[in-house]
Structure formats: C-alpha cells, structure tokens
Amino acid sequence: MREWRFWLAENRSTLVAFTIFIVMFWIYVANHPAGFTANVVQTAANKGVLLALVAMAQTMVVLTAGIDLSVGMIFVLCNCLASQLMAGDAWHTGVGLVLVLAAGAACGAVNGLLVIVGRLQPIVATIASGAIYFGLALWLRPDPGGADNFNSDFADLFTGKLFGKIPASLAALAAVALVVWVPFSRSAIGRTAYAVGSSELSAYMSGAPVRAAKLVVYTLAGLLAALGGVFLTFLTYSGEASAGNGGNYTLFSIAAVVLGGVSLFGGSGSAIGAIFGALAFRAIGDLLFVFDIEPLWQPLFQGVVLLASVAIGATRLIGVRNRLDLFG
C-alpha cells in the first residue's frame, strides 16, 4: 500500500549521498573547461573508483558497529603484491589476480578472528594489524616500482572506456557492487550484520549467526580493499609501500562512509551510499581545479568542506524534544 514510503525511508541516506554527488559533480563538470566529455568523466571515475572500493570495504565493518583502520594498509599491501604478481601472459596475470584477492581476504579474515576469537576492540586490533600489513608491504617493495613484464594491456582494459563512452572503471565498480554487495545484503549473513550493528546482544539472543556474520564482514572488507589495491596497480602499473597513502585511504574511507549516510554507530546505511559518498568526496576535491583556486588553499578547502558536510548531520538535533535523547 505504502511500500514506496518504506523504500524511501530505508534508502533516504543513500539518496542524500546520491544527490550530494550529483550536485558536486554537476558543479565540477559545468565549470570544467573541457565540459562534459568522455575523457573528463573517465579521469574522474578512475580516481573515484579507487576510494569507492575502499569505502565499500569500510562500510562492511561499520555496519556491524566496528571500524577497520587497516583497510588503507591492506589496500597498499595488495597494490605492492599486484605490482609483482600480475605480470606475464594472461594465465599468469589471472593467477596473480586471484592470489592478490586471496591475500586481501586473508588479511581481512585475520582482523575478523582478532575481533571475534581474540575479543579485541576493532579499533585497536586493526591499528595493530595495519602496522603488520604495512610492514609486509614495505618488505615486498622497499622502493616503489613495478614488474618488468607487468601486464599493462590487462590493466588498460579496466581503466579505459567501453564503447568509447562509458568509463570501464565505473562498469567494473557496478559489477563489484552487483556481485558482492547485492547478494550479501540480501542474505541471512548480511541481515545479521545489520542486526549486530543495531544490537549485538539482541542479534545473539535471536539466534542469528553473529560470529559467522562478523567473520564474513571483515573478510569481505579485506577482499574489497584488495580490489582497490589491484585497481591502483591498474592505474599506475607499479606498487608503492606508502604510509601516507595507507593512512589517507583509511581516513578518507571513513569520511566517504559518513558522507554516504552509513551510521558509524552501526546498523544503518548501505555500500551503495558509501560509493556515492566516495565519488562525492573526490568530486569535492576536484572542484578546486576547476575553480582555479591556488593549490595552497586546496587542503584547507577540502577540510572545511568535510567539516561542513559532517556538521549537516547535526540538523537531526532540531527534532529532539527531550534533552535526555541526546545522551543515547
């Protein structure tokens, strides 16, 4: 009867993220000297997809009211790994891709086990495991570089254009969302992940598979971060164990998740929202180029926009009738 209302209520945060993205991207394209061309979209998409994949990874864990501060480091580790393994002919590249993704998933699973079996707080467990993953990346690639016979044709397949119009990276991102997110969110495990985020005790008491859901969530986060790392390798043909990159992607993924309407307290939001949050975050960063602002002011502008956009979330306080409700 009023199903569209429920649908609207359920997806409101995703729609808000989508709107923010459309507005930001429209401002960007409208002011871009080249206008709305396939090349402009392709460049923006390639940068956005990197963060979108890491943001999806972060969403998985945040849904269960956890946080993964090692996603950026898994991303960097898999970038280094991919730059070495994805070389040679199609067969070797394929095996390399599988190995890299498996490594990412394994890193995620380790985080999951630390949280489930080790009963450590996600925030501290992933800070420590992130240091280990970064150490491994540094061990693999003490200096930035790539394999001599890196399969760049395969890489270009994912960073070019489909039919000369659509960015292949966006298509790949949509495929990942369809293959990973849609089945996950519709499964019992996915429902449990949301339930754990709302109240772990209630989920446990209802007999939901709490531990399995948490393990799946952390493993998928590792896998998605690995996909991001592979994608970075596609773009640069090389790997770099950069602590700055790892830290930035972790922090930006949290920002993207919040912009995308995923609650840091768990239990609400979607990876689709996080994707638009990530794309919007990137579009905000790119606005400076088109407005010709001095590069010097870029970090400040980005920070102020970030602060302002998270402060928008405070508007919900207007609806609070009882002061006690503030202190949930």
* Residue from 1, 9, 314, 318 in contact with another protein (CB under 8 A): 314
Any contact of residue 293 with another protein (CB under 8 A)? no
* Residue from 154, 158, 237, 301 in contact with another protein (CB under 8 A): 301
DSSP string, 52-108: HHHHHHHHHHHHTT---TTHHHHHHHHHHHHHHHSBSSHHHHHHHHHHHHHHHHHHH
Alpha-carbon span 314 to 254, nearest angstrom: 17
The set of long-range contacts for 288-291, using a CB threshold of 8 Å and a minimum separation of 24, is 290/28, 290/31, 290/32, 290/33, 291/31
Backbone dihedral region of 120: left (phi > 0), alpha (psi from -120 to 50 degrees) or beta? beta
Q: Which of residues 162-201 bind another protein (CB under 8 A)?
A: 200-201
Any contact of residue 147 with another protein (CB under 8 A)? no
Task: Map residue 111 onto helix, strand or coil.
Answer: helix
Any contact of residue 289 with another protein (CB under 8 A)? no
Q: Based on CB atoms, which residue is closest to another protein, 100 or 114?
A: 114
Any contact of residue 303 with another protein (CB under 8 A)? yes
Choose the binding region for another protein from 161-169, 171-179, 202-210, 228-236 (rule: CB under 8 A): 202-210
**Vertex 95: Cα angle to 114 and 71 (nearest 5):** 30
Stretch 115-144: interaction string toward another protein, x if CB under 8 A: ---xxxx-xxx-xxxxxx-xxxxxx--x--
Q: Which of residues 22-41 bind another protein (CB under 8 A)?
A: none
Any contact of residue 306 with another protein (CB under 8 A)? yes
Query: In angstroms, what is the minimal distance from the CB of 243 to another protein?
Result: 8
Any contact of residue 324 with another protein (CB under 8 A)? yes
Query: CA 258, 187, 65, 72 torsion: positive or negative?
Result: negative
**Which residues lie near another protein (CB under 8 A)?**
67, 114, 118-121, 123-125, 127-132, 134-139, 142, 200-201, 204-205, 210, 241, 247, 251, 254-255, 258, 264-265, 296-304, 306-307, 310-311, 313-314, 317, 323-324, 326-328
